Structure 1
Amino acid sequence: MKKRISIVLISIILVISLIHIPFSKSLVFYQGQTKKLIAYLPLQQDDTFQIVFTHSIHLSDVIEKYRVTTEDDIQQFEIVYEAYGIGMPSNAEGEEEFVYEDGKYHIKNMKRVFPSIHIRNGKTVSKHRLIWGENKERQVFFNDYFSPGEYLTLQIKNLSLWERLKGVKISD
């Protein structure tokens, strides 16, 4: 009888432990600057994703391209936009390249690394999109997961099964 109880207790402790072990690398969306997980997108090291938003003044798309680093940071490697003006860079810095291709301005070879990104879902012009996939074929609108005007913190994190259950998996 004692052996059976011990096996059951050990099994329960093992299951609880396994539920809390981080195993799934993801782009995590937290509410504001809290650690309240709202949604997540499973990604791996060197995977890329894009955040596209409509500039509230120019009303044209701005594409920010990011990569997951080996240190689980977020590296911005390119930005693409159609119009100069308020809030848009006018030139490249350091080793970056500023080019004009296909009617759009590109700043390439960016190596800007962030432990997290703070972003507000558009309120006035709410067309923020998240794009990912091998050929950038997957896309969702932020409004499908977040409220217009909502403040978010994005971070790369290894999630446990328990944490994954607390958030919504982003899928196309």
Structure 2
Amino acid sequence: MRKRKLIIVLAFLSICFSVVIFLPFQKVFAFTETRVNDPVVHFIPLTPEDTFEIRYTHSIHKTDVLEHYKCVDGTSIQMLGMEYESLAIGMPSYAEENQTLTKRNGKYYLEFDNEFIENFTIYIGDLDLDLVLDYEDYEYDLKKDLQRGKSYLFEVKHLSLYEQWKGARMK
């Protein structure tokens, strides 16, 4: 009888340990390298703050572009807008359906109405130009934390403790 209770207690503890280790509970910004067999997930833990920005220097016209996003409904990403200085190659010069393009103080502002995505791929170019994720008043230098010349799937997801141990936390 005593041996049976010990086995039940050990089985219960094993199940609890597995749940704690393997249950995804930490919400993160995840950067998963694409085109590799065993990708490492680079991540930034999320807090209740739900807005973030990506700022980069455009590789052709060498001006800053600022993209505004918001995390909604668990893991969806809402595109809020963009601001940029030039309508040169690669930048929107008109608003499409459910978008508004305005010019104020020498900058163009493209605003999105109800534009939601699950993820996007970001390429880390090998040029010495800015590529920064701004979240919670801290700038994450993506060219420092991620490998240049590689592309990464960016998404909001939940990671388990095990996945966090296998991954790389960005600082």
TM-score range, shorter chain: 0.7 to 0.9
1:159 shift after superposition: 1.2
TM-score (norm 2): 0.87
1:161 matched to which residue of 2?
161
- Choose which of 6, 11, 28 in structure 2 pairs with 1:4: 6
- Choose which of 32, 48, 53 in structure 1 pairs with 2:51: 48
1:19 shift after superposition: 0.9
| Amino-acid identity (%) | 29
TM-score (norm 1): 0.87
Matches within 5 A, 1:22-33: 22-32=24-34
2:146 matched to which residue of 1?
146
Count how many residue pairs are aligned between Structure 1 and Structure 2.
Answer: 168
* Corresponding position: 1:131 with 2:138: no
Q: Which whole-Å CA distance do the structure 2 matches of 1:126 and 1:147 have between them? A: 14
Q: Give the structure with the larger strand fraction.
A: 2
**Structure ID, larger Rg:** 2
Seen in structure 2, the aligned counterparts of structure 1 residues 165 and 33 have a Cα distance that, compared at 3 Å, is same
- Point out where structure 1 has 5 or more consecutive residues left out of the alignment: none
Cα pair 1:46 1:69 within 8 Å, conserved? no
Structure 1's consecutive aligned runs of 4 or more residues displaced over 4 angstroms after TM superposition are: none
Matches within 5 A, 1:21-100: 21-32=23-34, 36-43=39-46, 47-100=50-103
* Corresponding position: 1:14 with 2:16: yes
1:116 shift after superposition: 1.1
- Point out where structure 2 has 5 or more consecutive residues left out of the alignment: none
